Structures are given as structure tokens and as C-alpha cells.
Structure 1
Amino acid sequence: MKLRKLASIFVLGALLMTGCQAGGTTGKSEDVAKEKTVVAATVSGSQVLDKLDANVVGIPTTQLEMPEKFKGLPEVGQSMNPDLEVVASLNPDVFVMDNAFKDSVEKSLKEYDFNTFFLKTNTYTDYIKSIEELGKTIDKEEEATTLINELKNIEKEVKSKKGDKAPTVAIIFGSGENFMLATETSYLGDLVKTVGGKNIASKLDKNVENGYVQLSLEYILEQNPDYILRFAHGNLEETKKSFDKAFDKNPAYQELNAVKNNKVVDLDSNVFNVSANLKVKEAIQTLGDILYGE
């Protein structure tokens, strides 16, 4: 009888062990295996994916700084022209690209069966929405919400300094000697709007969809903004020289309140850009200091 009882105990134990193994209980290695794999062909997207703790298996080829944990991963080429064969070899569940390059790659993408997500970076507002959508796409909704709340809290902190102030702002975008005015549909224009500044370009034709319009000194003189933000693109040194030359040699600029009150600010290209990235945290805080600081 004792032998029969012992045998029954061993059989029952074996069945329980087998049941646990076959039952698919959530072991850590299995959870990781279930995560969606992602290939990123965008630096901005890579930054977001890092914050979302995504399972990234491929990154863009770039000289820009990448998240530490992505270093050494296979490279898939530059953001504007990724090597789709390399992407295919990595067999990702989701392929993340910058929406700015959608038109240039859409035809080539038809040859592959990628689940492609186009991250929108043209404005801060679209960037926030895109982070939320990306979180849903790769099953990282909680992480996406955390990141968005972090950005929103920085917004609130800056707006708390605003008070009743509503400073008028002109954003002059320069490349070489070609100057343009940034509208609210540009990244920089949308940032100014986000922190409560009034972009003088908003008084232009409401149907203006372009992020930039040709600069009119006459219009700037008419609006006489409280602040002028200058952003150099391309050859930074040459553009900055062109900015200074234009402001110093044209007496009309000297009539502006922003010039008289020393409120002409050159935006740091290490913080600001023409498209959104996670430097936006510092960008929002910097704009707050410019517009609402002592």
C-alpha cells in the first residue's frame, strides 16, 4: 500500500510539473519574445522608441547621437533613403519612418510587406499625437502616455509663468541670405503657440498652409513684434552673419521694439530644429525663459 501511495504521489507531481510547463505561464523570456520587433529609420523615432522601451532590432545610419542601448544594432541606411532589403532581412513587426520622407519611399515600400508607421514631426502638436499612435501600434500605450504626460507637464510649468502676458513674436528662418517667416504650421511656430506666444504670421491669410512664407520687412514693421526669434539653418555661420548684416545695415530694423529692447534672440540649433524630436523638452523651457523670464 505504501508503495502504491508513493507511486501515486510521483505521478501526480509529474502531471503538475507538465501542466505548468504546457500551460504557458508568463515567464520573463516568453514576455520578451512576444514583444513586437521594430526597425527605426529615423533618429527622432529612435529617441521615442527608446523612451517607450521598444524592442528595436535596427536603426538608421547617422552621425547623430543615438540612444546608448541601440548602439551596435544593424543599420538600415539614412532616414530619407533606407535600404529596404536590409529592413526586410530583419523581419520587423513594425517599420518606423519619418513622415517627411513618406512620398519619396512610398513607391518602393509597395514591393515589401512592411507594417510601416510614419512618425509625424512637422509640428509639436502632430508629434504628440504620433507618439500616442505609435504606442498603440507597438503595444506600448502605457509608456507612451508617460512620455506624453512628461511633455505636457513641461508645457504647464512654462505656461504658469505666462500670467497675463501674450507677447507677439516674429520667427525669422534663415538659410544663407534667404530669410523666411515661420508660420504656425511650422515646428517652431507651433512651439511658440504652445507656450502662449502670438506669432505675427497668424495674421496672414488663414489659408496659408506652408510652414514658411517669404519674409516681408514691411509686414514685420507693421506688426512691430515684442520678440524676434532668429533660426539659422544649413550653413549656420554664414546665415548668422547674414542675419547680423541685415539687421545692422538696414535702419528699418532699428525701429522695431524687439531691436530697441534687445529682444532679438538667436535660437540654439542644438536645441531647436525644423522638425520635432525629444529636444522639445528643452526647447519649450528655453522659449519660456525667453518670453517670460526676468
Structure 2
Amino acid sequence: MRQRSWALLLALLLVLTPVTAHMEEAVTFIDDLGQTVTAFSPKRVAALSGSFAEIWLLAGGTLCCATQDAWDERALPLSADVVNVGSLKQPSAELLLKQGADFALLTPTLEGQRALGETLSAAGVTTAYFEVETFADYLRMLDCCTRMTGRPDLYNEYGERVAQKIAQIVKAYEGKPSPSVLLLRAYSTGVKAKNSQNNMVGAMLDELGCRNIADSQSGLLETLSMETIIAQDPDFIFITTMGADDEALSYLAKNLQSSPAWQGLTAVREGRCHVLPKALFHYKPNARWAESYQMLADFLYGQ
């Protein structure tokens, strides 16, 4: 199944590989809100997430505006004239319009950004919405961006080459016994189990042949039952954090890791419980996706 999915992804690369076009030619695509977007080599681009800002830069573009996380979370090499338009959840329409943006990259998953998109569209700014959760999503967005910048060479460098590395990593472990895993997301006030759907780490673990216990024990998604976890006794436990790492890990230590039942889990006793680095497993890794896959593969199957 995994071999077939990667064969399809590599075939998709051939379809998506952009052809060299004159910079002023219109680029048309369907975004993740289902709207048809037509762009004419945008010059004043606003990226309303740090991840989107990085993808636009990887595509050879320049920015006029970005949200605060582009500086705080990614430390992107943005020029001094790039304007901070506020938080990811509530970017400032006033600041963005003041900068004369002609194109905006938004996410449909945040209500504040969808409302902002309506304001921008009414003001004549072209908007495109992307929901990037998996490597395939990243490829699709990178394809759209490199088509708009007229840089197919950068799609090859930061898309095709990364896809080939990932395909090699996945192929190297095909046919291996499928380890069982528990994937947790910790934050300052709670811990939740995550399945293989709608989250980047779950999707990667699935492609690497893992059996996520939350896929078959769906009750874990609502209530983190220690009884269920003990019964499943996963081979590996992976933990990602949201918000401040120290607060998330403190909550985890006090409310879960201090439990004798937790300490008795095979994965904990045998050193197979891993807190994953935020740069590769919470923030979207973009050009570093292959590093994320490789780190998981090393944990699961050894270096």
C-alpha cells in the first residue's frame, strides 16, 4: 500500500512539474477553499503564516508582509522592509492594505484569516488558501508558488529532490514488521492522542509502516485512557508539543509520566518514548521534510 502511494506521489510530481513560462503569464489553480485563483506574477505578496512565508521564499519570491510567527518561530531571513501584520490568528487588514499587497497566502483553518480574506478580496487583493498538513500538501503549494514566480528549478530543488529522498527512506523499510505506536500532543493544560489522519506526524508514521493504536481505539482521541494504553502497550511512544515546550512538558510530567502505570509501559521502560523536536514535527518542515521522515525511521528501525 505504501509503495503504491509513493509511486502515485512520484507520478504526481511529473504532472505537477511546471513548464517554463513568461513571468507575466497568468497562473491559474484551485486553492483549498475550492476557489479558482488567477495570478499575474504577484509583486507585493503577504504570507499569513511563517510556514507560508518560508514556502514563498523557497519558490524564489519576495514578501511585503508576514505574520509574527515568521520571526518568532522560524527566524526567516526577511528583509528590513517586510512588515509584521500581527498574529497568525488575527492579522491586521489595515496594515496589510497599507502596504499595497496584491496577493495574499492564507489558511482556511483559522476563522480570522477567512474573514480577512473576504476583506482583502473586496479591496481587490487576490487571495489563495492553502491547508498544508502533509508532504503532498507542501508539494502542491510549492508547485503553485513556483509557477507564480516562474522558477521551476526551485520546485525541482525543494520539491522533487525532497520527494525522491523520502521515497527512498520509505522503501528502505517496506516489508518490516509494523511497530505499534502511540502519538501524543502535549500542551500546557492537557495531553491528547492523535491518529494517522489530519496531522503531519501521524501521516508520516503511517507511511513508515506503523500501526497507530488510536486508529483502532478511537476513544483515545476523546479521553486519554491509561487502561486502554496499557492494554495496547505500544512499541513506541512519540510526543509533540504545542505552545511553550517547558509548560507542555511540565504538564506531561505531572499528569502522565509520574504515574506508575505509565512507567510500566514497555516503550517507557525500554527507552522508546521520544519527544520530537518542534522544528521538524510541529512547525511544517517544508524543504526539510526528508529529515523528519529520516528521524522517525531511525527511531523505529535503527540507524
* Closer, same or farther: CA 75–233 of 1 in aligned 2, 3 Å: closer
Letter in 2 for 1:49: W
The answer to whether 1:47 aligns with 2:47 is no
Say which is worse superposed, 175-184 or 57-66, in terms of deviation.
57-66
Shift of residue 152 of structure 1? 1.1
Conserved 8 A contact 1:161-1:292 = no
Return the TM-score normalized by structure 1: 0.74
Counterpart secondary structure, 1:99: coil
Shift of residue 53 of structure 1? 0.4
Match of 1:3 in 2: none
Match of 1:287 in 2: 296
Conserved 8 A contact 1:124-1:190 = no
Shift of residue 67 of structure 1? 3.5
Conserved 8 A contact 1:272-1:280 = no
Conserved 8 A contact 1:94-1:138 = no
Match of 1:63 in 2: 72
Q: Work out which of the residue numbers 178, 190, 201 in structure 1 matches 2:190.
A: 178
Map 1:246-285; keep pairs closer than 5 Å. 246-273=255-282, 277-285=286-294
> Which structure 2 residue ranges, 5 or more long, are not aligned?
1-21, 26-39
The answer to whether 1:76 aligns with 2:96 is no
Match of 1:188 in 2: 201
* Closer, same or farther: CA 265–77 of 1 in aligned 2, 3 Å: same
Map 1:143-158; keep pairs closer than 5 Å. 143-158=154-169
Shift of residue 46 of structure 1? 1.2
CA distance in 2, matches of 1:149, 1:80: 31
Letter in 2 for 1:190: A
> Which structure 1 residue ranges, 5 or more long, are not aligned?
1-27
Counterpart secondary structure, 1:53: coil
The answer to whether 1:199 aligns with 2:195 is no
Conserved 8 A contact 1:35-1:55 = no
Conserved 8 A contact 1:121-1:276 = no
Letter in 1 for 2:262: Y
Shift of residue 229 of structure 1? 0.7
1:169-202 CA distance string (max 9 Å, x none): 1111111351110122222212222333222222
Counterpart secondary structure, 1:280: helix
Conserved 8 A contact 2:280-2:288 = yes
Q: Work out which of the residue numbers 42, 45, 56 in structure 2 matches 1:36.
A: 42
CA distance in 2, matches of 1:74, 1:170: 41
1:250-269 CA distance string (max 9 Å, x none): 23224422123210111122
* Closer, same or farther: CA 285–203 of 1 in aligned 2, 3 Å: same
Map 1:47-126; keep pairs closer than 5 Å. 47-61=54-68, 62-68=71-77, 70-101=79-110, 102-126=113-137
CA distance in 1, matches of 2:101, 2:107: 17
Match of 1:244 in 2: 253
Counterpart secondary structure, 2:173: coil
Say which is worse superposed, 223-232 or 85-94, in terms of deviation.
85-94
Counterpart secondary structure, 2:192: strand
* Closer, same or farther: CA 30–112 of 1 in aligned 2, 3 Å: closer
Larger Rg: 1
1:142-189 CA distance string (max 9 Å, x none): 533442213212312322442413221111111135111012222221
CA distance in 2, matches of 1:281, 1:115: 32
CA distance in 1, matches of 2:284, 2:301: 24
Return the TM-score normalized by structure 2: 0.72
Percent identical: 18
